[in-house]
Amino acid sequence: MNLRNTLLGMFQTSRKHQRCWVVALKHYIQQCTEVRFTHQSSKNIQPSTSGILARSIASDEQDLKAQGITPISIVVCNLYPFEATISQPNCTLANAIEEIDIGGVTLLRAAAKNHERVSILSNPSDYSEFLTAFTQGQGDIGRSFRSRLALKAFEQTAKYDEAIGGYFREQYASAEIPADKLAAPVQRIALRYGANPHQKPAQAYVTNGELPFKVLSGAPGYINLLDALNSYALVKELQEALNLPAAASFKHVSPAGAAVGVELDETEKQVYGVDDLKEPLTLLASAYARARGADRMSSFGDFIALSAPCDVATARIISREVSDGIIAPGYSEEALDILKKKKAGKYCVLWIDPLYNPPAIETKQVYGVYLQQKRNDCKIGSDLFQNIVTQNKDLPSAAVIDLIVATLALKYTQSNSVAYAYHGAIVGIGAGQQSRIHCTRLAGGKADLWWLRHHPRVLALPFKKGVKRAEKANAIDLYVSGEALEGGEKAQWENLFGGTVEPLTDGEKKEWAAKLDGVTCSSDAFFPFPDNVHRAKKSGVKYLAAPSGSVMDEECIKAADEHGMVFAHTSLRLFHH
C-alpha cells in the first residue's frame, strides 16, 4: 500500500467527543498521510466520492489525474443523530427531517463499497484499534480489518434507513391516521402493549406493500394478532386442501379446536350447543360449532379464524360465546352488524386479504439474536398418507379428511404436539409438551371428555333456566371428568341444576368409551415408543399418522397391528415454535 494516504474526516455530531480523536489521528498518521478534515455537505460530496470510489487500476488513476481529484484512502464519518432526535418527546416532523443525513450515508456506502482499498471509520469506538493497526502496519490495516469496518458501515446505514422508514411509516402510513390524511397505504398499526401490559411500545407493521388485514371493529392486541394470523393460515390451508369451509378456535398461538364444514347431526347440534339456533346451519357455521365445541374450556376467550366470509348463522353462534375476536376474508352486512355489537362495540373484527401470500423467508428475534428460515410452506394432502406400514391398509376417504385436519392443525400448534380428529374436526390436541407420550395422553384425555359429552345422561342434565353457556360448559366438564368437589364449590355446582345429579360410574364411562371408533391421530414427529399407540387406541383411534425415524418404529408398527390399526408413515416432521 502507498503510505501517502488521504484522510477524509466528516464529523457531524458529538464534535467535542470526536475532537480528541481528530487530534490523535492527525498526530499519529500525519507522517504518512495527507490529512483533509472537512465538514462535508451534499454540495461538495461529489469530488469526495470520486476520490473514494477510485480503484487501484490505471484507468481510474488516469481519470482522477485528469480531473484533479486526489484518491482518498481513509474516511471518518459519523451520521446525524436521527434516532436520538426522534426519541425525544417534543420532536417535531421538522426536527426529524433536519436530522436526516444525506452526504454522510453516501460517503459511508462509497467507502464501504471500495473497502478493497479504502478504510471506513463509522464509529468512534473503532478509532483506537484503527490507530494501532495503522501504525503497526505502517499505513496498511490489512484487508480483514477493512472488511470488518465495511460490514459495520453497511449495517449502520441499513439501521439508519430502517429508523427513517419506521418514523415516516408512523407519520404517513399508520392505521391511526385519519383516512383523508394518509399519504400511503396502511403499513402499520399501533398496539396497546406487547404480550404483557408493561411491554410498551408495541406495533405491527410491514415494510413492503400494505398490511394484509384491516380492523373493522375493536382494537387487536399483540397476542390477538399472533392468534389471528396463525389461525387464518391454518383455515386457509384447510380449505385449499379439502375444498370445504374451515374454522379454528385459537388460544395462545395454538388451536383449541379446528374443523371443516361437515354437517352436524341432531346429537352433535346439542353437544355443540347450536340446537336452538334459529338460522339454518351453513357449512361454515357447522365448522365453527365443531371447532369451538371440541374443547369448550380451552376455547373460552378464543380468537376465531374463518376461511370464508362470515355469514349470519356463524355470526349468531359467535355472538353468544365468550371470545376476543375474529379474522375472516369477508363479512356479510348483517353478520358484521351482529359482531360489531358484541362486547359493547369493542369486539375485535379483522378483515384479511384472501389473496395475501407472506414472503418465503421469515425472521424472528430472540434475546437480541435474529433467526431466519424458509417459511413452512409444505402442502398437506391425501398423498402424504400413502405409505401405510401396517397389515391393515384400509384407509377410507373420511379418515383421510380427518388425518389432513389433524396434521394441518399440528403445523400451527406449539410442539411437541399430537392431535386427534373425528368427523372433520379436532377432538383433542396435546400441545407444547416436552414428552411425546404426554402429548398423546393430553390429547386423548380431551378426546375422552369430548366423547363423554355425547352421553345421553350428559345431554339430559337438568340445568336451571338462566344458567349461562360458560357456566354450563364448566359444569359439564366437571361432571364428565369426575372431579371431586367439596364445600362451597360443590354447593355452587349443585345449585346450577333443578334436581339431583347422579355421577357417571366408571362402568358407564368405560361402556360409553368402547362405542367410539374410527378416530384419527396424527403426531408432529415420530413416536419414540409404542406406548403412544396403545394410549391412542384407548380413545377410539383406528388411524395413525406420524413420521418415521425412530429406532422403535418396528415396535410401534407391531403395536398398531396388535390393535388392527392403520398406520401411515408421513416422512414429514412438523415442529412449530
As given in the structure block, the three cell numbers for residue 334 are 348483517
- For the record, the C-alpha cell of 427 comes out as 377432538
CA 265 to chain centre: 36
Q: Determine which one of 26, 252, 340, 438 is catalytic.
A: 252
Neighbours of 173 (CB within 10 A): 20
CA 324 to chain centre: 18
The CB density around residue 444, as the number of other CB atoms within 10 Å, is 25
- Angstrom distance (rounded) from CA 158 to CA 177: 27
CA angle at 328 for the pair 325 and 334, rounded to the nearest 5°: 85
Look at residues 332, 325, 333 and name the one whose alpha carbon lies nearest to residue 350. 325
Full strand arrangement of the beta sheet holding 566-569:
213-217, 348-352, 323-328, 302-306, 246-251, 254-260, 425-431, 417-422, 519-523, 541-546, 566-569
- Looking up cell 402499520 gives 188
Active site residue 252: yes
Rounded to the nearest 5 degrees, what angle is found at the Cα of 365, between the Cα atoms of 361 and 369?
110
Give me 393's grid cell: 391398509
Residue 482 grid coordinates: 369426575
Distances, alpha carbon 566 to alpha carbons 394, 440, 523, 560, 561, in Å: 7, 17, 14, 7, 8
Ramachandran area for residue 431 (φ above 0: left; ψ -120 to 50: alpha; else beta) = beta
Those residues whose C-beta lies under 8 Å from the C-beta of residue 419, and which sit 6 or more positions away, are 406, 407, 409, 410, 413, 426, 428, 429, 430, 443, 521, 522
Secondary structure element (H or E) that encloses residue 85, with its range: helix 82-86
Catalytic residue among 16, 27, 65, 113: 113
3-class DSSP assignment, residue 281: coil
Residues annotated as catalytic (active site), given as ranges: 113, 252
